[in-house]
Amino acid sequence: MIEKLKALEKELESIVLNNADETEQFRLKYLSRKGLLNDLFEEFKTIPNDQKKEVGKVMNLVKQAAQVKFDEAQVNFEETIKDSTTDQDLTLPPEPTKLGSRHPLVLVEKQIADIFSKLGFSLSYGPEIEDDWHNFSGLNFPENHPARDMQDTFFIDKEIALRTHTSSVQVRLMENQKPPLRAIMPGRVYRNEAISARAHCFFHQVEGIYIDKNVSFADLKQTLYHFVTEMFGKEFKIRFRPSYFPFTEPSAEMDISCIICKGKGCNVCKHTGWVEILGCGMIDPNVMQSNGINPDEFSGFAFGMGIERITMLKYNVKDLRVFSTNDVRFLQQFESE
């Protein structure tokens, strides 16, 4: 048995442990419960008593040598041993980071802006808290005229209100810039209406104006037809119905053939085959005059559409309220857009 132990001692001396893996193999082979040293201790029990003292000494030395070697190596490779003993598979690819999604109204506003920017329309913005002049009087709504009741207004005081439409930005643009003017003006607007599937106390509009020499109603029709084709596709028809707005003359509302039923008749188009999407017209000479533009020299058109309406048609959304309830089950559907 002494020979065996001496041979083992030599063997241990010659071993070099280079990494955590080798250290662990070493422990299993020599020091664990099923290791070689344990086997020798078992054998030790069977040798004659008179040899035990001598053999026992050598055995303890060999065991100590093995333990010291292991302890030293373990300190060296401690970090890596820790890593290799976790149950994580570090070779797996990482879990992808989830990106947020853009709000559908933001997506559609951007699409509208892209379509008009290719026609040379720039972007302009105005304040949501507006004075009477920009929201009403500058747009040819005379004081105490019933046309002011077309839009239920949130007044802050007699002079100041939350804007009821983005047409107010038209006035700001005309005061600040000289024609030719070509711009779209997106933004949030407010009306004192009961909240339902079809109406809300706040929503979004995009206003557009084009003022230059010789701008005609034909230009208005072509521009809006181009918009509908780009937004919804070539298969949709448009029609203009005469209407009234104080700031345009003549005024019209534009319908498109129903996106949902393709004109056959459904709930969305109330079985008419047509859906109204915007108001428009030739800018009233009074509006130009009161904002410093000579109507004998220039003419122009204007239009205004609701972004919610366009989005509802484009993505077949039936209830306006989902745009402001922040339900992720709704919003996540736009992740890939």
Name the residues that contact ligand DAH, by CB under 6 A: 165, 167, 207, 245, 248, 279-281, 302-304
DSSP line for 196-217: -SS--SEEEEEEEEEEETT--H
**Nearest distance in Å: CB 326, ligand DAH:** 25
CB of 286 to ligand DAH, least distance (A): 13
CB-nearer residue toward ligand DAH: 246 or 263: 246
The smaller minimum CB distance to ligand DAH, of residues 73 and 280, is found at: 280
Nearest to ligand DAH of 179, 304 (CB atom) = 304
User: Which is closer to ligand DAH, CB of 23 or CB of 166?
Assistant: 166
Q: Would you give the end-to-end CA distance of the chain in angstroms?
A: 78
The dihedral sign for the CA sequence 29, 35, 38, 39: negative
Tokens of 17: 């442990």
Q: Do 176 and 262 contact (CB within 8 A), yes or no?
A: no
Q: How far is the CB of 102 from ligand DAH (least distance, A)?
A: 25
Nearer to ligand DAH, 185 or 269 (CB): 185
Residue type, 158: K
Which is closer to ligand DAH, CB of 23 or CB of 248?
Answer: 248
**Judged by CB, which is closer to ligand DAH: 24, or 132?**
132
Residue type, 110: K
What DSSP designation does 155 have? B
Q: Distances from the Cα of 120 to the Cαs of 116, 186, 195, in angstroms?
A: 7, 16, 37
Residue 174 CB partners (closer than 8 Å, separation 6+):
181, 211, 287, 288, 291, 292, 293
Buried b (16+ CB within 10 A) or exposed e, 93-113: eeeeeeeebebbbbbbbebbb
Nearest CB to ligand DAH, comparing residues 274 and 303: 303
Q: Tell me whether strands 160-162 and 181-190 are parallel, antiparallel or unpaired.
A: unpaired
Alpha carbons 197 and 318: distance in angstroms, whole number? 7
CB closer to ligand DAH, 23 vs 151: 151
Strands 181-190 and 202-212: antiparallel
SS3 state at 253? strand
**Nearest-approach distance from CB 324 to ligand DAH, in angstroms:** 19
Give me the least distance between CB of 111 and ligand DAH, in Å please.
19
Phi, psi torsion values for 268, nearest 5 degrees: -60, -40
